[in-house]
Structure 1
């Protein structure tokens, strides 16, 4: 066999190994979500790739048989065909006893470099760049190759499965998608510019509905505006003018004796018809949906959907009213400032790049978003910033009380009848940097 034939055989072996290495990485690295999208667009090859991923034992066995067999043949052919030429080249400069060994070493190095570069490194890098596109391109020929190698692959898999069972290794591929996986995909999309910052924020908030409880978004008990059965007409008119709500609770004498609710539209209709509005009865009072304060926002959405209601009273374990929640409250949690009324006071006001004025009733989740805090300590013990301060201080906070957590200092600014009204939150890192700069200026 002359050098020309040897080179042709060597090139064929390198090309075969290139194809097998590329196929292995492309099919293994293809993302199932993208493959399903391609399948929905009518490309049947994408379904074949998914099936290969789900039943990958024969695929990996066949590709490894091919890759290793080609590598061994390449070494035999390359060494036997190239060694004489390298020996002659070495003999031209050196005629010592090591000439044959040097020629063998050079031929081995040449063949090894050829396989590493063109049969291993380059195909794998290409497959990592565009796995789905290459996977559907090679899946049909690779299925033919698997059928050819199936008898030997069956024996190899039998031995491999026995070893896995011996060491109790589960070989099933976990295809479940967790919230962390989806969050990572969203972060990648935001960084690459596919998702805008606001869109990324919306999607994160939607997933948080499953984790956030009702108290994080409800109107708290002290802020609930309600009518009593004996409410005067003047008082009702004043509340309608002062509070632009669409629904008002109706209670017997106090807030914990809930009877139902009235829609502001019904009262306005009575006003337009010159009817008395202080005679609240069955025609105007509607049944109100009551929910426990332990529900998640996702569960509340489901209750609203099944009952066709958009307003609910939140009850605690002692059957006391702790607040009310509407469909609009949940939408504000998801959409943020996009649906928040302009006249509504903001709970978080950023004073400058490193300080914030924050209301004590601010939900912990909103605080984490605003300050970019990944995790709060023991957050199962409280739901608001005020609860966080009480938990850390182990007492009823007073003005000027301070809690330091991470890079932030939380200072109580205003307390109203034991209720923490407002706090000043400051980033400590910036303060330290400014103090150092001021000290350096004084020294200079």
Structure 2
């Protein structure tokens, strides 16, 4: 070192600090790169992304390489700085060199490059991987030795570097990612993505048409009445039953009956021959599961049955799809507008049998849906009795008035105007 001039030592020190900054920035950039964006870019044959992906398959080796390089450079820089300090200030220069070099490395070789790498990980990680990959091959024996020692220590702590699984997201975390996407994903598309995630949290009972509201045909009714119902039905599929829903015979596709109906060739015998087998759905089936079952079985409609085989309601493929994409026009008449009627005073008259999920979605409310599925059921559960007349109550933070009770059911409920808005928690 005595043969090297002080100015040259300053240049060497500057180069060593630059190399230290490179290793520090590379470490932060490699560990901060978005794994999902990285995977996408690797699939698009981005060479930098492919190199980074290969290096991150064994993060223990990558970190070992970077730390070896960084520590070697920092030790060399310390030695050079000590020599410079002694030449310029004598013995006091050792202490001075230590203090100054610590500040320089901290500012220029640690904080600054790591901050830049954290803000722009891809810009740092992709180019630096071009040097790190061949450097790993050159220093592999040393990296392997250090990894063996550290990995054995990790095994004592119950950690295995070889079993690194990478990054994965739960459904709740994915939901957060969708909401945080902001303008990158249109709001309508965000709602659809969240709707798909919500399917696993809802069951067929949450969206089914209750058995008392199923629109069907009683085969034992007067034939003229049956023909009139068929001709005026807004539904493409009707349930045919004998006397009661419990004695269901099957579904009718009204489109198949249009021609014989117009030609007056339809008879009760041909009507029964047109019946299609009933597709039964077990109670409690998640919507995500039922959607796949509908797809596999090529069915579009089914009856929900409980553990005793009793019919509880009806579910269609359209009902499940609307949970994802929202309401859309179908061949089935939508009567939701009749279930929620705005009043001049700003209040809303709600039909007691309305589905709570539909009510929450339509009016941006937050009634609990983990118990009863209808507003009538929720109020009855809260009161623990059937009200005999008009009654005011506060339920789930909302002020309600029972307007009409009929046949042991709450037919109409009023929601006061100031409670329509979504509550803030």
Shorter chain as denominator, the TM-score bin is 0.7 to 0.9
TM superposition shift of 1:40? 2.0
- Pairing of 1:23-422 with structure 2 (within 5 A): 23-82=26-85, 85=88, 87=89, 101=92, 107-171=97-161, 172-174=163-165, 175-189=167-181, 191=182, 193-240=183-230, 243-276=233-266, 278-279=268-269, 281-339=271-329, 343-346=334-337, 359-366=351-358, 376=368, 380-396=370-386, 399-405=390-396, 408-414=397-403, 415-421=405-411, 422=413
TM superposition shift of 1:237? 4.3
Aligned-partner Cα distance in 2 for 1:84–1:371? 79
What do the CA deviations read for 1:79-133 (whole angstroms, capped 9, x no partner)? 4314655x49xxxxxxxxxxx75x6665444322322222112222222223234
TM-score for the superposition, normalised by structure 1:
0.81
Say which SS state the counterpart of residue 9 (structure 1) adopts. Answer: helix
TM superposition shift of 1:71? 2.0
CA 1:19/1:401 → structure 2, altered by over 3 Å: closer, same or farther?
A: same
What do the CA deviations read for 1:379-419 (whole angstroms, capped 9, x no partner)? 644444444444444444675353443xx325253444333
Aligned-partner Cα distance in 1 for 2:385–2:262? 52
What do the CA deviations read for 1:296-324 (whole angstroms, capped 9, x no partner)? 22222222222222121121222222111
Confirm or deny: 8 A CA contact 2:21 2:110 kept in the other structure.
yes
Question: Of 4, 7, 15, which aligns to 1:4?
Answer: 7
Q: How much is the aligned-residue C-alpha RMSD, in angstroms? A: 3.4
Aligned-partner Cα distance in 2 for 1:53–1:213? 40
Confirm or deny: 8 A CA contact 1:26 1:134 kept in the other structure.
yes
CA 1:277/1:391 → structure 2, altered by over 3 Å: closer, same or farther?
A: same
TM superposition shift of 1:265? 1.6
Extract unaligned runs of 5+ from structure 1: 89-99, 434-444
Aligned-partner Cα distance in 2 for 1:63–1:76? 20
Confirm or deny: 8 A CA contact 1:392 1:403 kept in the other structure.
no
What do the CA deviations read for 1:19-68 (whole angstroms, capped 9, x no partner)? 11122122222223222221221224423322322211111111112222
TM-score for the superposition, normalised by structure 2:
0.84
Confirm or deny: 8 A CA contact 1:79 1:111 kept in the other structure.
no
Say which SS state the counterpart of residue 252 (structure 2) adopts. Answer: strand
Confirm or deny: 8 A CA contact 1:221 1:324 kept in the other structure.
yes
Extract unaligned runs of 5+ from structure 2: none
